[in-house]
A and B are shown apart, each in its own frame.
Chain A
Amino acid sequence: MGIIVGEMIPPATDRFFPMLDAILVTFQMALVGTVFGVILSLPLALLAAQNTTPSAFVRHLARGLISFFRTVPDLAWALFFVASVGLGPFAGTLALLIDTIGFCGRFFAETIEEVDAGPNDALTAIGVRATDRIAVAILPSALPGMTASSLFALEKSVRSSVVLGLVGAGGIGAELAVSMEMFRYDQAATIILMIFILVLAVEQLSGKTRSTLLNLRKTNV
């Protein structure tokens, strides 16, 4: 291990720009997969939450689907999509999308269930339709929690997208695999540093976004 670490220093910059392209692709995969995953998680979470589901059967069905998406590892989803749609970032994006649904679906549903039932009951008492009640009495209260979950999902996706590249699902992972196989540990060191900077930047950005949104919440709607 000491020899490998020794060979990693100094990190190589000869393939810096192709690596930069690859890390950008990694970030794009994570972002697109998370955004679409979050969008698709919301209706599924509404069907899975006890206080918004139309029936117990639908709730169990939605919960089962979310559990299935969550329990199958993202690497397995990546292999499945690589086999289905071919090598490249699209397979990785689909894997991250499914993984995000599994993650956000569960946390969104739990956040929705934790919302104070009082305002919803008050609107039920005057005959307000379910869709309107969800829009005004459930989602505004659940939004901060759901935003936090979405940002955690983005951080998780960025980390996952690196690994997905190792199985041919595009991004910086593929570059890392090639560097390791070619014993170019100096290039691998550059890639690892890039991954570290990307993950750190996303964590910082999501932390700032979370606090900004929480402050915005305090102003009127």
Chain B
Amino acid sequence: MYSPDKLPGDRPVAALNAPKAVRVQDLRKQFSPAGSAIFEGITFSIPCGASLAIIGPNGAGKSTLLKCCVRLIEPDGGKVWIHDKQISGLSRAKLRRLRNQIGFVFQKHQLIPELSALTNVLHGALARGTGPRYWFQALAPLELRQRAMHYLSQVGLSDLAIRPCSQLSGGQSQRVAIARALMQEPKILLADEPTASLDPRAASEIMTLLHRLTQESGITLMFVSHHMEHAKEYGDHIIGLKNRSLQLNRPAKSVDLRELKSFFSETPLYAAS
């Protein structure tokens, strides 16, 4: 269970020296050949089991960076390693298998509104299996349904398991999306502004939940956030994108909130085209 004494700042130093879950070197992305780069020369790494916060002003390329890490957007230069495997040369089939180990929580939950919360959670298992028994709760074997229920109860929604997702609130939907990501049993979880559409209270609840569950399962967490408080509280490490480059790359413990706020104060030179 979650306890305050397990906050990221108190993690043992050994965890930070652990093998790298994600390693990024000289990453570059531009959307049009003639245009300027969104970012370039991005280099950072995350130890296995740690959490990394990505911050930066609007249009700095935070979401693009996150997506480039798993080639949901193809980078235009540089290298990315996931668990020491370079992903740039991977075939479509190998890339798909690699993505099976990487969960993704989106800004908008991206659930299937017609289907129940339980069925949506069940879909997380599609990363590791295929076929009709993973499609709908009615076709799923007992073991799968129990596992999906377990994750739903972890996010506090077991009583809403059979409710269609179209009838859930934004916060509840995001919880279901987290349960779906956990059902996948990923080694790395990427979260692209998972609290962007939520009110401050729900946003804090979701971040606490996400952080607690990933810590308990030893999942590496990379999240994009506009909330400096979240970045500081839930990130072991913070990287900041601004003016096309990485302008902050430090352990969360060594950065104070004032410094983070000043990071946002200047108008970004770059605006995504």
Q: Which residues of B contact A136 (CB under 8 A)?
A: 112, 115, 119, 123, 126, 135-136
Q: Please report the C-alpha to C-alpha distance between residue A128 and residue B127 in the assembled complex, in whole angstroms.
A: 5
Given contacts A118-B108, A119-B110, A137-B112, contact A125 B70 (CB under 8 A): yes
Q: Which of A119, A127, A132, A140 has the most CB of B within 10 A?
A: A127
**Chain B residues near A143 (CB, 8 Å)?**
114
Is B130 positioned at the interface, with any CB of A under 8 Å from its CB?
Answer: yes
Contacts of A123 in B (CB 8 A): 123, 126
Q: Hey, which chain B residues are within 8 Å of A140, CB to CB?
A: 112, 114-115
B229–chain A nearest beta-carbon distance, Å: 27
Chain A residues with CB under 8 Å of B177's CB are 122
| Stretch from A29-37, A149-157, A213-221 that touches the partner | A213-221
- Judge whether B111 is part of the interface by a CB distance below 8 angstroms: yes
Q: Tell me if B83 is interfacial: C-beta within 8 Å of chain A.
A: no
A127 and B72: CB pair below 8 A?
no
- Select which of A126, A132, A135, A137 is within 8 A of B104 by beta carbon: A126
Least CB distance from B232 to A in Å reads 27
Categorize the interface residue count of chain B.
35 or more
* Interface status of A21 (Cβ within 8 A of chain B): no
Interface of A is mostly: helix
> B61 at the A/B interface (Cβ < 8 Å)?
no
B136 to chain A, nearest CB (A): 6
Q: Are A122 and B126 in contact (CB under 8 A)?
A: no
Q: Nearest chain B CB to A46's CB is how many angstroms away?
A: 16
Which residues of B have CB within 8 Å of A219?
Answer: 164
Nearest chain A residue, comparing its CB with the CB of B126: A128
Say which residue of B106, B114, B138 sits within 8 Å of A141 (CB atoms): B114
For B132, the chain A residues whose CB sits under 8 A away are 135
B30: CB under 8 A from chain A? no
Contact among A118, A122, A127, A221 with B115 in the assembled complex (CB-CB below 8 Å): A221
Pair B110/A126 contact, Cβ less than 8 Å: no
Contact among A118, A127, A135, A217 for B106, CB-based, below 8 A: A118
Q: Does B145 make an interface contact (CB < 8 A)? A: no
Q: Return the contact of A125 from the options B104, B112, B162 (Cβ within 8 A).
A: B104
In the bound complex, what is the Cα–Cα distance between A218 and B186 (angstroms)? 32
Q: Indicate which residue in B113, B127, B131, B134 contacts A126 across the interface (CB closer than 8 Å).
A: B127
Q: Answer yes or no: B252 CB below 8 A from chain A CBs.
A: no
Nearest-Cβ distance from residue B57 to partner chain A, whole angstroms: 25
Given A118-B110, A140-B112, A221-B115: A132 touches B98 (CB 8 Å cut-off): no
- Residues on B facing A (Cβ under 8 Å): 70, 72, 95-100, 102-104, 106, 108, 110-116, 119, 123-124, 126-127, 130-132, 134-138, 162-164, 177, 181, 184, 186
8 contacts between A and B (CB under 8 A): A125-B104, A126-B127, A136-B123, A136-B126, A136-B135, A140-B115, A141-B114, A221-B138
